[in-house]
Amino acid sequence: MSLRDLKQQFLEYLEIERGRSALTVRNYDHYLTRFFDWLGSDKVTDVTAPKLREFRLWLNRLESSQAEEGTLKKRTQNYHLIALRAFLKYLRKQDIKCVDPEVIELAKVPERMIDIISHEEVVRILDAPDTATTIGLRDKCILELLYATGLRVAELCSLSRDDIDLREDGFSIRGKGEKVRIVYLTDTARETLKKYLGGRTDSDEALFIAHGKSSAKRAERNEDLRLTPRTMQRILKHYAIKAGVTKTVTPHTMRHAFATSLLHNGADIRSVQALLGHSSIVTTQIYTHVVDNQLRDIHKKFHSR
């Protein structure tokens, strides 16, 4: 079979057997297609260790309009290599002779830096919406839920009204890799959400929808009113500017603020890992910088000099 036919089988395997999200499947398709186009061949036997090394070199020199230095970031290069390695492992599982996937080694990447905003900045952003308006009340709910739960923006967008029982402290969410976890509401988030949903007169199942004149026309055309991740990113940016926060603020920034708030107040890292829905504790450990001040105080208190 040709490489492209095998790729299609592999993508279907990811979707059905592995239960990967549509976005993951689409990304793998993109990375593998880029490799096949570069290879200029449709034969499995042409995927050799030397060719893989040449591809890595080509990726490293590939110009990117999104990168300051003009080339692909190491992390993006690794995404290509991860997709290739997974594809080759799949071929071996199907007893198709191919190059050993283990010849592909990932590039070392610098430790991830995360966007941090102070508690005071978070409070200013949370207080920025005008709750006297429907849109302002909706946006207040979005901000409060992001900070209360640490949800990813895609997870928040996916919520429907029936997913949350406001008589309960928490609710379940299906996150990355189809993993289900429990997240919890603060009193402020619950009360704001209760007020917002109590004022809704529409029958749309989505928890957060578009409001205003344009939304009425969309409803008449039976179009989806559910807010998208891109819209929520714009909402965060708007209120950060309104609150006078000069840093770049995204929904993921609020997720970071959620995690650092828990750690600042004494939560253990395993609990934070569970609340964030991280598969690996290593991912959660990027937030441990928040104990730096505690380490400084311990050093000052106990060092003999």
Q: How far is CA 218 from CA 153, 157, 158, 201, in A?
A: 23, 18, 19, 16
Structure tokens at 33: 């297609």
Q: Is residue 217 among the annotated active site residues?
A: no
Q: Which residues are 170's β-sheet partners? A: 184
Q: Is residue 287 among the annotated active site residues?
A: yes
- Which one of 176, 226, 237, 264 is the catalytic residue? 176
Question: Cβ-count burial of 63 within 10 angstroms (0-12 exposed, 13-18 middle, 19+ buried)?
Answer: exposed
Structure tokens at 69: 């230095």
| Total Cβ atoms within 10 A of residue 265 | 8
Please report the beta strands in 18-158, taking only residues with DSSP state E, as ranges in sequence order: none
Q: Is residue 181 among the annotated active site residues?
A: no
Q: Is residue 124 among the annotated active site residues?
A: no
Q: Is residue 252 among the annotated active site residues?
A: yes
- Which one of 181, 218, 252, 264 is the catalytic residue? 252
* SS3 at position 35: helix
Rounded distance, CA 126 to CA 38, Å? 48
- Which one of 152, 190, 211, 256 is the catalytic residue? 152
- Which one of 80, 140, 211, 255 is the catalytic residue? 255
- Which one of 85, 190, 211, 278 is the catalytic residue? 278
Q: Which residues are 180's β-sheet partners? A: 174
Helix (H) or strand (E) holding 26: helix 22-39
For helices 251-264 and 119-126, what crossing angle results, to 10°?
130
- Which one of 28, 90, 239, 287 is the catalytic residue? 287
Q: Which of 240, 207, 203, 238 is nearest to 222 (CA)?
A: 203
Rounded distance, CA 94 to CA 71, Å? 35
Rounded distance, CA 44 to CA 1, Å? 8
Q: Is residue 176 among the annotated active site residues?
A: yes
- Which residues does 261 contact at the CB level (< 8 Å), separation at least 6? 119, 122, 147
Catalytic residues: 152, 176, 252, 255, 278, 287
